[in-house]
Structures are given as structure tokens and as C-alpha cells.
Amino acid sequence: MALLTRAEVEDFLYHEAALLDEWKTMEWAELFTEDGEYLVPPTDLPDADKNAALFIINDDHHRLVQRAKRLTRRTAHVEFPHSKVRHTIHNVRILEQDEAGLTVASNQIVYRAKRQNLDTFVCHTIHQLARTADGLRIRSKRVMLDIDGLRPHGMISAIL
């Protein structure tokens, strides 16, 4: 199997970002493998072990699908109506790649506008991507926030 180029990987990451910006959260969840996970470690321990530390978000596949469903409903009051969200992705690097998949690092900035407030989340992201018959799928998405705390933001209600 041919190795993927950075441009092909960037296209995948841009597609994921577009789904999140358009609040197509169920389509976003479908990008994950059945054993996929979505992680946001504590801001002071970006390399923390998910089994040993309290994470801001520690979703297995079931939980990330439930998160995606909840955000489509009116009962998700904090996100209804939806915030205006824009993901920008930079400095994409393929760290490892083999027949089974690849590890990709990137920087991203997520802008969230809601109720006359603009929150900015500066993040470093590691994707573990799997090659499947349906194309690339996310086995793991780990988003490390480059902020000292969530005090100015108060919460993370949108998917980073």
C-alpha cells in the first residue's frame, strides 16, 4: 500500500474540521473506528495517561457517538442554537506511517462565537489514523489545550 502524502492527510483533517464547523457531528463520529477514542487531557498534564488522570474529555467510541447525538438536539441547551465555530489547522506532520495506519501531529486553533463572546482554543492535536476499506478513519484523537486553564472559556461545549 502506498504511503500517504501530507497533502492527503491534510485533506482528511480539513474534512473533519469542516464537519465540526458545520455541526455535522454524527458524520464526524462516523470518521472514527469502532475502537476509536476522543481525548482532551488536563491542561497541566498534556501527556497524562487516560487510565490514571482525570481528563476533560475521555470518550470511547460509544461516548463520542453519544456526544455527537446530544449536540444535534435542542436539549443540548449550551449549544442550541449552535455556536459559530471555525477550526484552523496548521503545521501538519506525519510522525509515523506503516501499512496499518499513521500518526499525525498538527496545531489547531478553534474559534467559538456565542452570545457576543469569542473563545479561542489553541491546541496541539495527535491523530492516530487507521487505513480501512472505507478510507482513513480516526482510531484516536487527542487534543492538548495550550492554555493554562479554562477560566476564560468556562467550558468546552463544542468539539475541538
Q: How many CA atoms lie within 13 A of 131 on its CB side?
A: 12
| Average pLDDT score over residue span 100-109 | 96
CATH code: domain 6-145 is: 3.10.450.50
Q: 69-94, pLDDT tens digit by residue?
A: 998 888 777 778 889 999 999 999 99
Give the span between the Cα atoms of 143 and 160, in whole angstroms. 7
Domain ranges for the chain, please list them. Answer: 6-145
The type of residue at 43 is T
CA 29 to chain centre: 10
Q: Report pTM.
A: 0.92
Q: What is the pLDDT of residue 151?
A: 66
What is the rounded average pLDDT for all residues in the chain?
92
| Average pLDDT score over residue span 60-77 | 90
Residue 97 contacts residue 8 (beta carbons within 8 Å) = no
Q: What is the pLDDT of residue 122?
A: 94
Q: 119-152, pLDDT tens digit by residue?
A: 899 999 999 999 999 999 999 999 999 987 766 6
- What CA–CA distances, in Å, run from 24 to 30, 76, 156? 10, 15, 17
pLDDT band at 14 (very low <50, low <70, confident <90, very high): very high
| Average pLDDT score over residue span 105-123 | 92
Give the span between the Cα atoms of 79 and 95, in whole angstroms. 34
